[in-house]
Amino acid sequence: MTTKSTNIHIGHCTSPHGIKGEFSFVLYSPEDSVLDSGSIITLTPRSPGSSVPQDGKEYKIKKINFGNKTIVTLDGVSDRNTVEALIPFDIYMSRDLLPETEEDEYYLNDLLGLEVFHHYTKEPIGRVVDFYENGAQIVLKIKADKEFIEVLFLSQFVPLVDLDLNRMEIIPPIMIE
């Protein structure tokens, strides 16, 4: 389960790039990325196979190139063996280093713990406990009474988010059998 923190989850890495110690980052908002050479990021392991410490480790970006893939070199990592030992990992950046959000914009971490209500009936449904990217969009994981509900984080399914009231309204998916 993902938790709120002063660090914002901005992406992950599951594969190396080339043989010179480069990573292929998957950033959740590459078009709006604030990452640059010299940026400080925190890595946390995605699985026990990663050599990143369980409580995370900070790295400085030595070089970053955006394109079809986001290719990154980190200070202190200079060969493919080190890259392969570190992956898979999640990428976080301190909230203090990120720009303020506009109205109707959210950092995904800010949605964790929000109470979820049915948009039409206003009945309580549960709480946002996690999120993930399915390759095309963000999916919110909501813990309901006896189950988990997964909802695409799109305005068609999540018409209201109110961080001040710690509240979100969703149009729950209808299962067709």
105 Cβ contact partners less than 8 Å away, ≥ 6 residues apart: none
Residue ranges of the alpha helices (H) in 49-176?
Answer: 80-86
Amino acid 101: pLDDT: 79
Q: Between residues 104 and 41, which one has the greater pLDDT?
A: 41
Strands 138-144 and 124-133: antiparallel
Amino acid 2: pLDDT: 46
Amino acid 3: pLDDT: 45
**Token pair of 76, please?**
């202190």
- The CATH superfamily label for domain 7-97 reads RimM (2.40.30.60)
pTM value?
Answer: 0.69
Confidence of residue 105 (pLDDT cuts 50, 70, 90): confident
For residue 127, what are the CA distances in angstroms to 34, 57, 61, 84, 170? 30, 29, 35, 36, 11
**Mean pLDDT of the region 43-62:** 94
The ranges assigned to domains in the chain are 7-97, 108-170
Amino acid 173: pLDDT: 79
For the chain, the C-alpha Rg in angstroms (whole number) is 18
Q: How many CB atoms lie within 10 A of CB 158?
A: 20
Cα separation, 114 vs 128, in Å, equals 6
CATH fold label, 108-170: SH3 type barrels. (2.30.30)
Question: How is residue 5 annotated by DSSP?
Answer: -
Q: Between residues 4 and 62, which one has the greater pLDDT?
A: 62
Confidence of residue 33 (pLDDT cuts 50, 70, 90): confident
Contact 137, 131 (CB under 8 A): no
> Do 7-97 and 108-170 agree at the fold level?
no
User: Does the pLDDT value for residue 5 go beyond 90?
Assistant: no
User: Does the pLDDT value for residue 4 go beyond 60?
Assistant: no
